[in-house]
Structure 1
């Protein structure tokens, strides 16, 4: 490899999975099927690439590495395109149906038959960038006003991408969790509707819909593979991506579903701390991680219901592993397909490479030469300036 990925600083705890039916109960098969049927009808839909990194797999001595590249998704640059826009559409469906006193179809809203009603329903959310961009894009398509709350350290490039889709962007002081709190309170005061990918007491349906949308990505993966992977490394954040993917994989593969390894930045390790405590646990963020989409201090309780039954391992990685992983994908080993990925996309890749260079950690994670590892490349280059800076670091070395 071009750069070393030392396991120094990587932390790991094994987790004793609880028994239960959360993978079927929290997000039903019907919910996944409804989301898939709708999203695959959207203009611009196409399955994203599942890239096989054969040269890298040989280099670190595992059987296969599969990287699901969500960069091309609907031209929005991330897997979030599947969640926020769909959950927003479902909020519109419920509210328009309530106002009209009859059930309206998702397709009718998508096709503009209820533009007048949609124009009177304001959707809001907090975001580090990708979820808000998806919601803004969906609101633009479905004709609803959109307000997005971002915290102080969200890049201006990501803010401008949401404004370009017609959203009003409100930047606040504080961190992601502060932006969530403000979005909730102002929505309540003004009669707006929150479309969040995290849940809290009394609020769970939109986060369920977000996760159901992610099932489209999993269905594409399963359609492309001949057999179940042995492992899946999933980014943390509030847990929505990890929970949605883990549940969909369990529904598809049953007892053959892959071992679920949750990976987070050491600077934002709320799921790692939850794993240690055995219950949803907040993490006080003192410094922002380069992996902006994973900078979350409050786990989603809804996501935790699934992860407590599906996750076998929780891992944190230090910041110094992120940029080398981005560069390795963009300038890969000979024979592998180049992938331009964002910072939050490479958490699993960085953890995998580091683990294979530490014999004890590899054994603890069950990683050997027969491992077939699935990685979710959750975003492409969603901030060109940050990507350029990461690539220039290697050029200057």
Structure 2
């Protein structure tokens, strides 16, 4: 089994050197007289529009550090990563990935920040706004295939042919180190919440985590199960058109699914990450799917609370609405749900 033993202090030390790093806010919404919903809003994380920056940027920095150590035989101190010497060394490196949008922006941002190059494969279903944003970040953008999976295959072939560094946010047999770094970056979110809940002693009873390949859901679940004092019920939320983690759980092994293209574009992944699968399979989680209509309705309901997002970003809220009726008889002190807005509504 592939082990995942992250240290959230490593990515936190990296991000604390950036002026853009801020702890994203938690907001409380009164759903009813009995239910107060906690919302962790990742829409403005690092000014990139989503939580993905925590993974892609940190992984780029870590892999550049690895390259430095490989060349010079000594580890790179965190404080040295932004020096001209490192930028000069990184200028010979190119990071290649496939993306449904946000991961590519994270990788391109990290590459430009540290002096490297990036090449991002997008499927035809990715909104044009992401391509525009990537070009502003000096990334080379290549449109390939009608699905995320097709663009991923193209990125893998590119890395093999050009010797570029493949930085995928999914994992499969023989490929797990770079995505494990991405997931380590995501652990910052769970650690921020841990520190907040330790101060307030207001621990959630139910956590809703949306999932594509499962990197975010897997990293959050690992941290919750290993570092939170009070253990909640965890729900993994997927589109009805792409329930690859649910199918994998039921099959007892990583399993691909087929389905129509979902409007929850950043969650529309038909193949699970094996790292995420291994974590979730041993973490006592539940699985929920949401429909296109449910996710769309959730975006409008959140907008009424001043929270602007997309169907992908609202999927956790859609699952909460769908699931809350089963907890309707619980007292307020027992039912303390938390959801995550994983991206803002920057798609045009």
TM-score range, shorter chain: over 0.9
User: Aligned in 2, Cα 1:143/1:74: closer, same or farther, shift over 3 Å?
Assistant: same
Per the TM alignment, residue 113 of structure 1 is displaced from its structure 2 partner at its CA by 2.8
* 2:99 alignment partner in structure 1: 127
Q: Give per-residue Cα distances to partners, 1:97-122, cap 9 Å, x unaligned.
A: 21233322233122333111100010
Aligned to 1:10: none
TM-aligned CA distance change 1:57 to 1:98, over 3 Å: farther
Q: RMSD in angstroms over aligned alpha carbons?
A: 1.8
Structure 2 residue aligned with 1:193, among 165, 183, 193?
165
Q: Distance in 2 between matches of 1:78 and 1:154?
A: 16
Q: 2:245 maps to which residue?
A: 271
Q: Is the 8 A contact 2:13 2:78 kept in 1?
A: no
- 1:136 paired to 2:112: no
* Cα distance in structure 1, aligned partners of 2:278 and 2:234: 14
- Give the TM-score normalised by the residue count of structure 1: 0.83
Aligned residue runs from structure 1 range 360-379, under 5 A: 362=327, 369=332, 370-379=334-343
Partner of 2:265: 292
Greater RCO, 1 or 2 (C-alpha within 8 Å, sep 6+): 1
CA contact 1:39–1:213 (8 Å) conserved in 2: no
- The aligned counterpart of 2:282 is 309
Structure 2 counterpart of 1:35: 11
1:174 corresponds to which residue?
146
TM-score (norm 2): 0.94
Which string of whole-angstrom CA distances, capped at 9 and with x for unpartnered residues, describes residues 302-325 of structure 1? 111111112421111111011221
The structural deviation recorded for 1:57 is 4.5
Among residues 6, 16, 22, which one is paired with 1:46 in the alignment?
22
The superposition leaves residues 143-169 of structure 1 with CA deviations (integer Å, 9 ceiling, x where unpaired) of 100000111100101111111111111
The answer on whether the counterparts of 1:50 and 1:224 sit within 8 Å (CA) in structure 2 is no
**Relative to structure 1, is the Cα distance of residues 265 and 212 closer, same or farther in structure 2, using a 3 angstrom cutoff?**
same
Confirm or deny that 1:233 pairs with 2:208. yes
Q: Structure 1 residues 57 and 39, CA, compared in 2 at 3 Å: closer, same or farther?
A: farther
2:311 is matched with 343
1:245 and 1:85 map into 2 onto residues whose CA distance is 18
Number of the residue aligned with 1:282: 256
SS of residue matched to 1:314: strand
**Once the 2 structures are TM-superposed, how far is the Cα of residue 27 of structure 1 from its aligned partner?**
2.4
- Take 2:241 and 2:176, find their aligned partners in 1: how far apart are those partners? 27
How much does 1:41 deviate?
A: 1.9
Alpha-carbon separation, structure 2, partners of 1:168 and 1:220: 34
The answer to whether the aligner puts 1:160 opposite 2:129 as a matched pair is no
Is the Cα–Cα contact under 8 Å of residues 234 and 263 in structure 1 kept in the other structure? Answer: yes
Gapped regions of structure 1 (runs ≥ 5): 1-20, 333-337, 386-397
Q: What number of residue pairs does the alignment pair up?
A: 344
Measure the CA separation in 1 of the matches of 2:190 and 2:167: 22
Uncovered stretches (5+) of structure 2, i.e. residues with no partner: none
**Residue number in structure 2 paired with 1:76:** 48
